[in-house]
Amino acid sequence: MKEQLQALQKEALDKIQTVEGSQGLQDVKVAYLGKKGSLTGILRGMGKLSAEERPVVGEIANQVRQAITEAIEEKQDQLEQVAMEQKLAKEAIDVTLPGRPVNVGGKHLLTQMIEDIEDLFIGMGFEVREGPEVETDYFNFEALNLPKDHPARDMQDSFYITNELLLRTHTSPVQARTMREYEGQKPVKMICPGKVYRRDTDDATHSHQFTQIEGLYVDKNVRMSDLKGVLDTFAKHMFGEDRDIRLRPSFFPFTEPSVEMDISCKMCDGKGCSVCKQSGWIEILGAGMVHPKVLEMAGYDPSVYTGFAFGMGPDRIAMLKYGISDIRHFYINDKRFLTQYHQA
């Protein structure tokens, strides 16, 4: 029996040496040490041994079991080690390879313009507000002193959704909305940037969707000179300290008096060139003193409150500032155009 056990040990250790994979090892373990395994089989025959032989053989059997168990554990460790090494080799990263370029995005030029203008006006105490792009006929027109069938509605060809709903044609409805929210009690000092829509055929200077920034300042004793000061600050910030502004009489139903603001042409320094059509001046925005009717409709007493309003187009301002000749560049989203204006 002793020889049998030793032969078994040798056989098992040989197998463990050569076995492949942990499943194979598991099979070997079951084959020798399992309930139906060879060692167990031999031990079953111990009952036939004499009382003196039994402890001797028992001890050998234990040694054999221990030797096999240890060999299996050792092999298991080896297999795990090999598996780990293979995994590491497979996942190895070559840190010397050149990196892949990362495409970093940037802000759209119009976003940059709007944020710059927002910063300037926030610095002058204006708050930044928003309003809906799908607007009611009431806020887009009526509350701005443009009753139904008023001929001046034709100044802004509109996309109607229903009889009473349209895509806003300007950011001016936010004037009326803000005043209404303030209930005729508090001063209003806000700007509102956003998208606007007009039924125009797209060409180099027209886009059916473009951007505007509205400005509104309502308080006691707001005067036209306040408007001029604010606009002058804006023009110099945007186009340089050496620019002059001039206000020309104009017409908007929601302001009285109404003006258009020009800046002196930077190309020719006001002498006249093709950019300013020989006039020396370039039109930038529309503005005026808020019409008493507009104040009244929004709940402000025009004998107590006065105000100014202006509306400017960041598209047009960006085109002038950067010499961009086609408004469609802003909306085609060609990266070759947009990335030229990305800031580091």
Q: Which residues of this chain interact with ligand PHE, rule CB under 6 A?
A: 170, 172, 214, 252, 255, 286-288, 309-311
Q: What is the smallest separation between the CB atom of 96 and ligand PHE, expressed in angstroms?
A: 59
* Minimum distance of ligand PHE from residue 250's CB (angstroms): 8
Compare residues 234 and 310 and give the one whose CB is closer to ligand PHE.
Answer: 310
Nearer to ligand PHE, 252 or 330 (CB): 252
Of the pair 68, 245, the CB lying nearest ligand PHE is at 245
For residue 99, the 8-state DSSP code is P
Smallest gap from residue 195 Cβ to ligand PHE (A): 13
**Which residues lie closer than 8 Å to 201 by C-beta, 6 or more apart?**
208
* Between 28 and 294, CB nearer to ligand PHE: 294
- For the stretch 224-231, contacts whose Cβ atoms lie closer than 8 Å and that sit 24 or more positions apart, written own/partner, are 224/257, 224/289, 224/308, 226/308, 227/287, 227/288, 227/289, 227/308, 227/310, 230/124, 230/308, 230/310, 231/261, 231/285, 231/287, 231/310
Q: For residues 19 and 6, give the distance between their C-alpha atoms in angstroms, rounded to a whole number.
A: 20
- Whether the bond into 257 is cis, omega within 30 of 0: yes
Output the smallest distance, CB 172 to ligand PHE, in A.
4
Nearest CB to ligand PHE, comparing residues 9 and 211: 211
Task: Single out the residue of 161, 192, 166 nearest to residue 179, CA to CA.
Answer: 192
Q: How far is the CB of 260 from ligand PHE (least distance, A)?
A: 8
Nearest residue to ligand PHE by CB is: 311
